Amino acid sequence: MILSAGATVARAEQLLSQAFRDAGIDTAMLDARFLLQARLGVDRTGLLSDATRELTIIEAEALSRDAARRLARESVAVILGEQEFWSLPFRVTRDTLVPRPDTETLVEAALTAIADRASPIIADLGTGTGAILCSLLHERRDAFGVGVDISAAALDVARGNARRLNLATRARFIRASFTAALGNQRVDLVVSNPPYIGTAEIARLEPEVRHEPILALDGGADGLDAYRAIAVDVTRVLKPGAVVALEIGATQESAVAAVFAGHGLTLVRPAVRDLGGNPRALILQRN
């Protein structure tokens, strides 16, 4: 236990930051503040005005548990069970990928691609927390969506998120591998952030990422297995003029485009870049 009851809030912030810094965590101070704010139920200002107050035993124990998990390099998002995405709150667990800011690029590109389609039907393959599907349904009040995932635990999280965001009446969730579950359903948009890391690269990811489900990261030897699995069957489920919107790894633009070209789908625009300037989202359509 690194914090004891009776330590002041300011002292707790110091101790947590120091412990995180010593462990080589470069967001040490921010992480300490986030954990304190969450466990004390205050915002940044509240943290300052509470500086001289002493922690209760309950708070000290909860924060010590959080600190141990952070020192084991679990992300703050997973420890707190929540991550903001598209300015919406999403519950996250150890069974889901934590939604990334880069993935907002995919949401934006997908929204643009379906802007002129009325009451669009959306399929989100490998939905995880449901963050992509829920963000799209939140923006497009006339849309309906299906979230597909192979992980039952992830689907529980996605269903809960859709309910919490009042989107449940327009979202269905199905346990299956990619397009298999869609049956005769035809859609206006297939969107996916599939696993796209090459197996050998997994070991080189940040320790926080390595706590995330391997199923959501591992794209096989060359990182392209999931794209191949989607490409094989995706044209079957597309309405005329429908689009496919995919997140890709920074170096995968031409390789993924080639996979889909082999199944009659071509890029409608160059890859959309993320905030870091890397190609991140591909929009494809049937030739």
Q: Which residues bind ligand GLN (CB under 6 A)?
A: 100, 193-197, 209, 217, 247
Please answer whether residues 136 and 145 qualify as being in contact, where contact means their C-beta atoms are separated by less than 8 angstroms. Answer: yes
Please answer whether residues 107 and 88 qualify as being in contact, where contact means their C-beta atoms are separated by less than 8 angstroms. Answer: no
DSSP 127: -
CB of 195 to ligand GLN, least distance (A): 5
Q: Which residue is nearest to ligand GLN (CB)?
A: 196
Structure tokens at 71: 């020192």
For 163, the enclosing helix (H) or strand (E) is helix 152-164
Q: Which is nearer to ligand GLN, 89 or 276 (CB)?
A: 276
Complete DSSP assignment for 56-81: PHHHHHHHHHHHHHHHTT--HHHHHT
Q: Which is nearer to ligand GLN, 32 or 271 (CB)?
A: 271
> What is the end-to-end Cα distance of the chain in Å, rounded?
61
CB of 226 to ligand GLN, least distance (A): 8
CB of 186 to ligand GLN, least distance (A): 26
Q: Which is nearer to ligand GLN, 15 or 281 (CB)?
A: 281
CB of 165 to ligand GLN, least distance (A): 22
Structure tokens at 83: 């991550």
Q: How many CB atoms lie under 10 A from the CB of residue 131?
A: 30
For 83, the enclosing helix (H) or strand (E) is strand 82-85
Binding site for substrate: residue ranges?
193-196
Q: Which is nearer to ligand GLN, 211 or 239 (CB)?
A: 211
CB of 246 to ligand GLN, least distance (A): 10
Q: Which is nearer to ligand GLN, 102 or 156 (CB)?
A: 102
**Beta pairing class for 265-267 and 279-286:** antiparallel
Q: How far apart are CA 90 and CA 80, in angstroms?
A: 11
CB of 219 to ligand GLN, least distance (A): 6
The three-state secondary structure class of 184 is coil
Binding site for S-adenosyl-L-methionine: residue ranges?
126-130, 149, 178, 193
Q: Which is nearer to ligand GLN, 83 or 193 (CB)?
A: 193
- Estimate the crossing angle of helix 131-139 against helix 152-164, to 10 degrees: 30
